[in-house]
Amino acid sequence: MSAESRFLTLLRLLANDPAAQGLADDVAILPVGDTRLILTSDTMVEGVHYLPTDPPADIGWKLAAVNLSDLAAKGAKPVGCLLNYALSGDDAWDEAFIAGLGEALDRHAMPLLGGDTVKMPTGSARSYSLTAIGEATGAVPTRSGAQPGDRLYLSGPVGDAGIGLVLASADAAASGPLVEAYRRPRPRLAEGALLAPHATAMMDVSDGLLIDASRMGQASGVAITIDHIPLSPALERVRGASTAVQIAAARAGDDYELLFTMPRGLTPPVRAIPVGHVAAGSGLTLIIDGAVIPLPDSLGWEHG
Amino acid sequence: MSAESRFLTLLRLLANDPAAQGLADDVAILPVGDTRLILTSDTMVEGVHYLPTDPPADIGWKLAAVNLSDLAAKGAKPVGCLLNYALSGDDAWDEAFIAGLGEALDRHAMPLLGGDTVKMPTGSARSYSLTAIGEATGAVPTRSGAQPGDRLYLSGPVGDAGIGLVLASADAAASGPLVEAYRRPRPRLAEGALLAPHATAMMDVSDGLLIDASRMGQASGVAITIDHIPLSPALERVRGASTAVQIAAARAGDDYELLFTMPRGLTPPVRAIPVGHVAAGSGLTLIIDGAVIPLPDSLGWEHG
């Protein structure tokens, strides 16, 4: 067994409660009285999950947004959150971070409930964690419910954030819709709540369409075919829409659109772009402009 | 306004829900249906909250214990937790950390529900956060309920962990009850649950008896006098019981005993050491061997 899977096995031994779902989903589902709480936590590390040159307000926004996106994928309503904050030693930077975090929390009605603030030793990369609590609004879709015959949808185009990261890496002062997509992702809470009663499976695309669709297929025990990679006009303007650009967009992370399946014949109750379908079997197939494309070696962002 | 208080003011603006208690307590109290959840989160940073030479299993244990101690101070029953883990790059180290964390979680029936695992850039201090969820078992004492006339109690002696830290800093291979007190604190969950219905105020002593008693007094709007500093036999054996040793013990952090007040005439339902009393007014008075002692400049561990 590899060290990584030994580590995960050890964690799963501690996750001996049905609420943990075997740590196989992005969230825990905790029954409390008549309701179910949705629990999720994400950490962002300087130089790993964001650029040290990113504006602090955007880093704060993003920390909230990535956690809210996990709630969105469960159709959950935000209840509150706890913040673990590492002071930067630069007061203006810290205040801008909290202002950006606060914008995202206010926008999505998620109060801060508590947390911890620490100082890091000089020279250390800083990291921030947010633990978000949501409340189920009804059905809670998992990533494992996709059925043969289902259609696969995205709530919006992919690839913008990936190009935005490239642009921001080259020039910290870069701006525009692609950089905005990377720095200020929009959690699809309203869409998630409307989709939850109808989706057979749902998750947010945080690591890339190909890898996340592949995970959905594996968890559901089905084969998934992607036959359309939706690109935004902003991305097409900058990069075109060649096969290479489409593959790059399908491997790029950080878009936070919802990926979901619904039975054929049902119409999604929100804007949704058909991107493929589900069949019996296993594995991921990628079709671009009618031709089957060999899958790239890396399907997206693999977590450490 | 200082930068630190500006930062806290910004955080409090986001804590616009009664559950957050204005971020003035160690925990949030979230009503869900007929019950109340107790939420707390603590971060431990390498070189700040533990020694890089501390055994990883002990660091893992302690991360669980400090969060469980916050639940204990509310008389809460553990429900579950989320872990934010920074991989060390040393698989055996990571596995030992999780084993120690797991020991503490198992011992206190707190399942792991989720979290996030990240990689840090090489050379960075690592940090770990745990967010713990408990359920109120009845009354939830705050730190602000101490009343004039109350007696002040501790659930056990203080100062052991502080000396344990000194010993472990000098020699990573040091062992014995004082090092054990520093590395493997025992959250007082059973005591907390028994005390919660009776205590007028309660908190855990994480930063030092003097500073934590001072905070209780301030939050309650009362004057607190400490007239006894209980030392363990193990500490007296190593350091004696001079006035200086008693003051050092009262300033030392990391003991995680419960500090609580009860009306005069009531007998605590658990082992409890009377350490002082509450009066109308404000401020902290320290009496050792019958003499009022000037308070030291620093009362304990001040968080960043």
DSSP 8-state code for residue A120: P
Q: Do B111 and A16 touch (CB under 8 A)?
A: yes
CA A294 distance to own-chain centroid: 25
**Of B109, B136, B163, the domain-final residue:** B136
**Which chain A residue lies closest to B110 (C-alpha atoms)?**
A14
Closest approach of chain B CAs to the CA of A158, in angstroms? 24
What are the tens digits of pLDDT across the range B8-66?
A: 899 999 999 999 988 888 899 999 999 999 999 999 999 999 999 999 999 999 999 99
**Cα atoms in the Cβ-side hemisphere of radius 13 Å centred on B96:** 12
Over residues B264-304, the pLDDT tens digits come to 999 999 999 999 999 999 999 999 999 999 998 888 776 53
Q: Quick check: A51 contacting B, CB < 8 Å?
A: no
Does B203 share its domain with B263?
A: yes
Residues 6+ apart with CB under 8 A from B179: B164, B167, B168
DSSP notation for B244-289 = HHHHHHHH------EEEEEETTPPPSS--EEEEEEESS-EEEEEET
Residue at a domain's end among A103, A136, A169: A136
CATH of the domain at B157: 3.90.650.10
Structural domain for B119, as ranges: 3-136
B45, A121: Cβ pair inside 8 Å?
yes
The answer on A159 and A37 residing in a single domain is no
| B19, B84, B125 member nearest A80 (Cβ) | B19
Residues of B in contact with A11 (CB under 8 A): 83, 98, 112, 117
Last residue of a domain, one of A113, A136, A159: A136
3-state SS string for B92-112: HHHHHHHHHHHHHHHHCCCCE
Predicted confidence (pLDDT) per residue in A172-223, tens digit: 999 999 999 999 999 999 999 999 999 999 999 999 999 999 999 999 999 9
A173 and A279 assigned to the same domain = yes
Total domain count for chain B? 2
In whole angstroms, what is the distance from residue A98 CA to residue A58 CA?
Answer: 10
Do B219 and B273 reside in the same domain of the chain? yes
Shared domain for B122 and B178, answered yes or no, is no
Residue B95: its chain A contacts at CB < 8 A? 3, 6-7, 10
Q: What is the pLDDT of residue B304?
A: 39
Is residue A57 predicted with pLDDT exceeding 90?
Answer: yes
Q: Specify whether B183 is located in the same domain as B277.
A: yes
Among B17, B43, B87, beta carbon nearest to A118: B43
Residues B170 and B87 in one domain: no
Neighbours of A197 (CB within 10 A): 12
Both tokens of B114, joined, read 């989720």
Asked whether the beta carbons of A216 and A122 are under 8 A apart, the reply is: no
Q: How far apart are CA B135 and CA B34, in angstroms?
A: 11
A194, A209 contact by CB (below 8 A): no
Query: Do B177 and B286 reside in the same domain of the chain?
Result: yes
Q: How far is Cα B158 from Cα B161, in angstroms, rounded to an integer?
A: 8
Question: Does the CB of A99 have a partner CB in chain B at under 8 Å?
Answer: yes
Residue B198 φ then ψ, to 5°:
-110, -30
What residues in B contact A41, CB-CB < 8 Å? Answer: 82-84, 114-116, 131
Same-domain check for residues A113 and A154 = no
Cα(A112)–Cα(B14) distance, rounded to whole angstroms? 5
Residues A155 and A265 in one domain: yes
Return the beta strands (E) in A63-138 as ranges: 76-87, 112-119, 127-136
Instruction: Give CA–CA dist A116/B23, Å, rounded.
Output: 10
